[in-house]
A and B are shown apart, each in its own frame.
Chain A
Amino acid sequence: MSTVTQEKAPRPVPRLRRTPIIEGQEAVLIAVLVIVGVLLAVFTDTFMTSANIQTVLYTVAPIAIIGVGMTAVMVTAGIDVSVGSQMAIAMVVVGKLLRDTDLGWFPALVVAVVVGSILGIINGLLIVVGRIHPMIITFGTLNVYRYVALQIFGDQQVSGVPDDLGFIGGSVQAVTFGIPNALLLAMALMVIMWAYMRQWAGGRHLYAIGGDPGAARLTGIQVNRKLISVYVLIGVLVGIASLVQVGSGGLIQQNVGIGLELQVIAACVIGGTSVLGGRGTVFGTLLGALLVGTVSSAVTHLGWPNELTNLFVGIFIIVAVGIDLVRQKRRTKL
């Protein structure tokens, strides 16, 4: 086990196994997004307005930010279903900090990141030490974290949060070149993670662990350390996403984040990430999140009942994974 030095100096992988920048599933997703957009532009006159597009992009941002972390977790064949409760903790802490002190946004950012990484370390340690499936561990911490969040809330929701974080919030002012700052933040994080997972040895190790943890260990990858780090990463990203969610301030309700994990997992899966590990890109996850956000907005603008969104999301998941399974079979036949 003298491979620690290799870990410390990540270097680009050899050019041997470079994958195309846009894979099949991502091209299909872009096509679907364009088609849905065109159809909506034709059939409604309220969807293709800059205000509505900005709203969609803002609501997509937190899911995309957490999705970046979830992609990394799922690539290692893990999963984190506690993100909703983590977000509740981060949001109530940040909300109370902004309301009860006049520290401003930067300490809030630091606190959110620290809170998220602590929650992530707890998940990671339990998974590694207990050697138990991440889903079961995070099901457990989902409940425990929700309790912690409710305790911090106290008896009531947090109201009157100031708009210190308004620059990444959902208002019309928080927009640069017509794109909400929150989504720009998500895209920046995505580009960094995309480069890391694609170009750097440390990022490729995630795929190796997801493909076969035993083999990964034998090649000298510090599997446990790597696993803990991805859960810390998703915790940090949940912290950042909760800043976006707090955004312009106002009201933080006690039920924030319930069901968030399913939305994030749906975005990842529609984007082509495999829950079995070893495959997935953050770019696909962003497209998946955009598709879910677009469909949700489309249902509203077509005057259909909101519940249809979930029906469509369910069908998208089945279709996306079904296509992927077919492609996989074709690949293994060669």
Chain B
Amino acid sequence: MSTSTVPGNLQPAKQGPSSDGFGSRVLRRVLTDRVTLLAILIVALLVAFSALSAADRLNAPFNVSYLSTSLMSLVPVALLALAQMFVIMSGRSGIDLSVGGMVSLAAMLFGWLVGPQQWPVITAVVITLIAAMLMGLLNGYLVSYLGFPPLIATLASSYVFGSMAMLANDRAPFADERIAATNALTRRIELFGDVAVPAHVFTVLLPCILIAWLALAKSRWGKSLYAVGTNDVAAKYATQPVKATRASAYVAAGLLSGVAAIVNVAQFASARPDAGTAGNGMALPAITIAVLGGVAIAGGLGRVGGTALAALLITWLNAAILISFQGSMGPRVQLLALGLVLLGAVLLNSYANRRYGLAE
């Protein structure tokens, strides 16, 4: 939302009420800069639930130890939210409903290579990531080169990937000692006291976030993606490779889904055919988080920092809800919270756009 990562010539001039007073400057910053808003929300969440925890109103203590353990579920969510970010930013109502299907199929491929095929894990990782990129390329080709609406192309491919994953081992998961050994990837690293952070937060998630940030904010490709997402006709006249750039956003989403698949296999010590499609699937929460992170559904706007913070907010919010309610109420309230947060975020976006005259 801020202009720092957007080339100035792509960002429409900000016009709106002149912001003299300190209060209105703060308000404007909170409404227009998503990272600020999310940071405030995270702090508010932490303060509120720490207070509840201190008053002994929760089922379990809400402390640093609990928060660091709950980062386990941050990793796949954040990876797929970054995947959605690239795709949505690429414009032409970009969206990727197939991330769940890609995660399932890539997980089954990884499990098959490591388990029955006895391949070295490193080779299996490389092959899985390449395969996931090819799945993304299928989406990208359909959308960018053949002109399919992204919603339809990825709906169809999610059916295809999801059912191929189910058929891969006749609905059964792959699980043996070699696959179980990958669980070491997600072991917890004790930092201090009883605070243990899952290792793949450092070995997988942070590098991915860093690379995504470098690619989006610092590389030619990132600038090209912003340009294509904002206005592809203008980008074409500015000699940008529109089709290749847009397709590559889907390939990046495939790659990130592949990483999420490997993490999923390691975390559960087995390759499940419904890894990414169980329940409501992984696509929906990922889209929600990307939008919450300030990615504009019309394309061309989005930041890695916003998406990562939004993933953190949702992860901790879910963790807080889980210890606030008994039994099956927790997951239910998580659904409600996800829906309300998404609606709140987009309505806020829409309001801020109108108030400050930003491009939608």
Hey, which bits of chain A sit against chain B, CB under 8 A?
79, 126, 130-133, 135-137, 139-147, 150-151, 155, 258, 262, 265-266, 269, 274-276, 305, 307-311, 313-315, 317-318, 321-322, 325
Contact = CB atoms under 8 A, between A and B. Distances in A.
B152 A140 contact: no
A40 B109 CA distance: 33
A119 B89 CA distance: 30
Given A142-B339, A144-B336, 16 more contacts: A132-B297, A132-B349, A140-B339, A141-B343, A143-B288, A143-B342, A144-B343, A146-B280, A276-B149, A307-B162, A308-B167, A309-B163, A311-B164, A317-B152, A318-B142, A321-B148
Interface in B328-360: 328, 332-333, 335-336, 338-340, 342-343, 346-347, 349-350, 360
Contact of A317 (B155, B343, B347, B360): B155
A318 B156 contact: yes
Contacts of B153: 318, 321
Interface of B: 93, 95, 142, 146-149, 151-153, 155-160, 162-164, 166-167, 170-171, 279-280, 284, 287-288, 291, 297-298, 328, 332-333, 335-336, 338-340, 342-343, 346-347, 349-350, 360
19 contacts: A132-B349, A132-B350, A133-B297, A135-B95, A136-B346, A137-B346, A139-B284, A143-B284, A144-B343, A146-B335, A146-B339, A147-B332, A147-B336, A275-B149, A311-B159, A318-B156, A321-B148, A321-B152, A322-B146
A132 B347 contact: yes
A296 to B, nearest CB: 12
Contact of A147 (B147, B339, B346): B339
A313 B159 contact: yes
B233 to A, nearest CB: 16
Given A139-B284, A146-B335, A305-B167, A317 B147 contact: no
A150 B331 CA distance: 10
B243 to A, nearest CB: 15
Contacts, number: 132
A318 B346 CA distance: 31
A3 B151 CA distance: 35
A141 B298 CA distance: 20
Contacts of B93: 133
B241 to A, nearest CB: 21
Given A133-B93, A140-B340, A150 B156 contact: no
B286 to A, nearest CB: 11
B78 to A, nearest CB: 19
For A151, A276, A305, A317, which residue has the most chain B Cβ atoms within 10 angstroms?
A: A317
B287 A139 contact: yes
Contacts of A135: 95, 151, 297
Nearest to A314: B159
A317 B328 CA distance: 37
Contact of A140 (B157, B171, B346, B349): B346
Nearest to B162: A310
B142 A147 contact: no
Given A136-B346, A143-B342, A321-B152, A311 B163 contact: yes
A313 B156 CA distance: 7
A64 B91 CA distance: 32
Contacts of B335: 143-144, 146-147, 150
A145 B339 CA distance: 9
B151 A314 contact: no
A232 to B, nearest CB: 19
Nearest to B327: A155
Given A133-B297, A265-B155, A139 B288 contact: yes
A315 B171 contact: no
B346 A132 contact: yes
A325 B336 contact: no
Contact of A144 (B284, B339, B349): B339
Contacts of B167: 305, 307-308, 311
A139 B162 contact: no
Nearest to A150: B332
B38 to A, nearest CB: 17
A309 B167 CA distance: 11
